[in-house]
């Protein structure tokens, strides 16, 4: 008798995510256990690299800003770094501080967004609402400084487009400093909550070795103890002019990824404060006003909230790039799911796929299909229910200890 293939396939995605870019995950499951994962992307391809070749250097930052709405500073940041690298341009210190400030503020908003959605997937909707509540002041700060809640359009080759006025600094400072308390609260909640511990500890482990082999970036690798961070390794803007530390943890599980992100936000608050202080003194203009981009090649990095963004630009001396290339961090991080998801249960898959902060809301369309007859067994709702039920069960088990957790 031939052995019966008991593996079933769960397609997650591809299209119409709850919020982020569509990707398609095919989970092969044997009972509760995930045995294999296939990933397909391409549902969001808009031909941005090609479009960039038809735009002038002044327009390109606006285009790459729209690569991703959550990292809407990271791409222009890397883009202007690349363009400035072509000519070896330097920019005024004030512009550097403004860039750094915007970049770090964005990290806070992005990590809070992730934290909230991670909470949602675990059935902790309170975390979702709270994290997003504390995210609103950050957006207000952006609106104050740049005029828009998202897509700030602050960057231009050679400097920044808008100055931060002196009278805005106290408000910005108040908002940034006001974030410290909720962030510490989140850190304490994560540390003290037994359910979160049971749910996230030792789930979706990526080892140091995995990260190095697959080239994982950002918090995904830093949670496994790989201290890669372009802000330190290859400083740009004002990152070498302010005091801050790279946050790493050792275990590489989902829990550590939460901790790394929360601690990183606290570092970002530190950087933002220093930048604002400096902006009171450093007043050497915000734009170097470069007119010509010479022929040549340039590369630009930025440590986006999800990892290193890399841009490459080739110029022939005209006002448009001849070739433009972008590599986003999720491109490196998504394959790590292959190691992190396989071997764990289906109910852990949602949060593990979420842990690298990719486009995980694709799970919205998850259906479990019987591989033999293609019958639908389980929808996204069921998967979410499974995940939330597990949390509830754990809550029962830890009830006696839960009562004592009050922050």
Partner 1 sequence: MSLKIKALTKSIWVFHLAASPCNNCDIEILDLLTPRFDIERFGIQLVGSVRHADAILVTGSMNRKARQRLKRVIAQAAKPCFVIAIGNCACSMEMFGKSYNQMECLDNVSEVHAYIAGCPPKPEAMIQGVVALIQAQLAALKK
Binding site for ligand SF4 (CB under 6 A): 66, 69, 151
Residue 109: CB minimum distance to partner 1, A:
10
- Identify residues 352-371 at the interface with partner 1 (CB under 8 A): 364
Task: Find which of ligand SF4, partner 1, none residue 399 binds, CB within 5 to 8 Å per kind.
Answer: none
- Residue 19 binds which entry of partner 1, ligand SF4, none, CB below 5-8 Å type-dependent: partner 1
Backbone angles phi and psi of 145, in degrees to 5: -85, -40
Q: Is residue 300 helix, strand or coil?
A: strand
Minimum Å distance from CB 184 to ligand SF4? Answer: 32
Residue 35 DSSP one-character state: E
CA distance to 60, 134, 250, 258, per residue, from 52 (Å): 6, 35, 40, 35
Cβ within 8 Å of residue 291, ≥6 positions away = none
Q: Do 364 and 383 meet the contact criterion of CB atoms below 8 Å apart?
A: no
63 binds partner 1 (CB under 8 A): yes
- Name which of 143, 138, 147, 150 is nearest 175 in CA terms: 138
Q: Which residues pair with 93 in a beta bridge?
A: none
Q: Is 66 in the site for partner 1 (CB under 8 A)?
A: yes
Q: Residue 387 Cβ, how far from partner 1 at the closest point, in Å?
A: 14
Per CB under 8 A, the segment of 10-18, 182-190, 205-213, 217-225 that binds partner 1 is 10-18
The first and second tokens of residue 136, run together, are 């609103």
Establish if 70 lies at the interface with partner 1 (CB under 8 A).
yes
146, interface contact from ligand SF4, partner 1, none, CB < 5-8 Å by kind: none
Neighbours of 297 (CB within 10 A): 13
A 10 A CB-CB count for 220 gives 30
The item of ligand SF4, partner 1, none sharing an interface with residue 132, based on CB under 5 to 8 Å by kind, is partner 1
According to the binding rule CB under 8 A, does residue 323 interact with partner 1? no
Q: Which is nearer to ligand SF4, 66 or 162 (CB)?
A: 66
Of 389, 383, 385, whose CA–CA distance to 29 is shortest? Answer: 383
Rule CB under 8 A: is residue 72 a binding residue for partner 1?
yes
Give the number of other CB atoms < 10 A from CB of residue 250. 10
SS3 for 93?
Answer: helix
Q: Write out the binding residues for partner 1, residues 96-135 only, by CB under 8 A.
A: 113, 116, 128-129, 132-133
Q: How far apart are CA 42 and CA 373, in angstroms?
A: 27
CB-CB contact of 130 with 98 (8 Å): no
- Closest to ligand SF4 by CB, 31 or 69: 69
Nearer to ligand SF4, 271 or 326 (CB): 326
> If contact means CB under 5 to 8 A according to the sort of partner, which of partner 1, ligand SF4, none does residue 31 touch?
none
Is 18 near partner 1 (CB under 8 A)?
Answer: yes
Q: Does 73 bind partner 1 (CB under 8 A)?
A: no
Q: Considering the complex, state which of residue 67 and residue 78 has its C-beta at the smaller distance from partner 1.
A: 67
Joined together, the tokens standing for residue 275 give 């930048």
Q: Which residue is listed with tokens 């995980």?
A: 360
Alpha-carbon span 197 to 203, nearest angstrom: 10
Least Cβ distance, residue 21 to ligand SF4 (angstroms): 11
- Kindly state whether residue 50 participates in binding partner 1, applying the rule CB under 8 A: yes
- Give 294's DSSP letter: P
For the bound state, the minimum distance from the C-beta of residue 149 to ligand SF4, rounded and expressed in Å, comes to 10
Closer residue to partner 1 in complex, CB, 139/191? 139
C-alpha to C-alpha distance for 211 and 75, rounded to whole angstroms: 23
Partner interacting with residue 62 (select from ligand SF4, partner 1, none; CB below 5-8 Å by kind): partner 1
List the one residue from 32, 58, 90, 136 that touches partner 1 (CB under 8 A). Answer: 136
What is the C-alpha separation between 156 and 83, in angstroms, rounded? 10
Site residues for partner 1 per CB under 8 A: 15-22, 42-48, 50-51, 54, 62-63, 66-70, 72, 113, 116, 128-129, 132-133, 136, 149-151, 364, 380-381
């Amino acid at each position: 008798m031939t052995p019966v293939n008991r593996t079933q396939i769960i397609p997650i995605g591809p299209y119409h995510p709850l919020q982020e870019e569509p990707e398609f995950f095919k989970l092969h499951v044997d009972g509760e256990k995930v045995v294999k994962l296939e990933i397909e992307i391409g549902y969001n391809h808009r031909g941005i690299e090609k479009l960039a070749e038809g735009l002038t250097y002044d327009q390109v930052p606006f285009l790459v800003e729209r690569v991703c709405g959550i990292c809407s500073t990271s791409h222009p940041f890397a883009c202007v770094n690349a363009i400035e690298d072509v000519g070896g341009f330097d920019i005024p210190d004030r512009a550097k501080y403004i860039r750094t400030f915007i970049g770090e503020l964005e990290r806070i908003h992005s990590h809070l967004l992730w934290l909230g959605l991670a909470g949602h997937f675990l059935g902790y909707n309170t975390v979702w609402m709270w994290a997003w509540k504390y995210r609103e002041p950050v957006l207000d700060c952006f609106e104050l400084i740049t005029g828009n809640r998202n897509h700030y359009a602050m960057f231009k080759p050679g400097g920044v487009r808008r100055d931060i006025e002196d009278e805005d600094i106290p408000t910005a400072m108040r908002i940034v400093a006001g974030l410290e308390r909720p962030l510490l609260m989140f850190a304490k909640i994560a540390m003290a909550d037994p359910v979160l511990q049971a749910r996230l500890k030792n789930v979706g482990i990526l080892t140091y070795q995995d990260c190095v082999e697959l080239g994982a970036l950002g918090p995904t690798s830093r949670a496994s103890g790989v201290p890669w961070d372009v802000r330190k390794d290859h400083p740009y803007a004002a990152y070498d002019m302010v005091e801050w530390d790279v946050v790493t943890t050792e275990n590489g599980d989902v829990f550590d990824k939460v901790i790394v992100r929360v601690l990183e936000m606290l570092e970002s608050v530190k950087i933002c404060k220093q930048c604002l202080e400096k902006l009171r003194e450093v007043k050497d203009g915000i734009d170097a006003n470069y007119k010509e981009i010479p022929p040549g090649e340039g590369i630009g990095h930025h440590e986006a909230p999800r990892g290193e963004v890399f841009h490459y630009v080739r110029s022939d001396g005209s006002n448009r790039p001849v070739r433009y290339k972008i590599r986003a961090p999720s491109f490196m991080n998504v394959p790590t799911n292959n190691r992190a998801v396989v071997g764990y249960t289906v109910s852990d898959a949602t949060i593990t796929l979420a842990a690298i902060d990719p486009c995980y809301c694709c799970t919205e369309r998850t259906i479990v299909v019987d591989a033999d007859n293609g019958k639908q067994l389980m929808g996204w709702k069921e998967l979410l229910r499974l995940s939330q039920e597990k949390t509830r069960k754990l809550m029962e088990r830890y009830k006696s200890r839960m009562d004592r957790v009050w922050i």
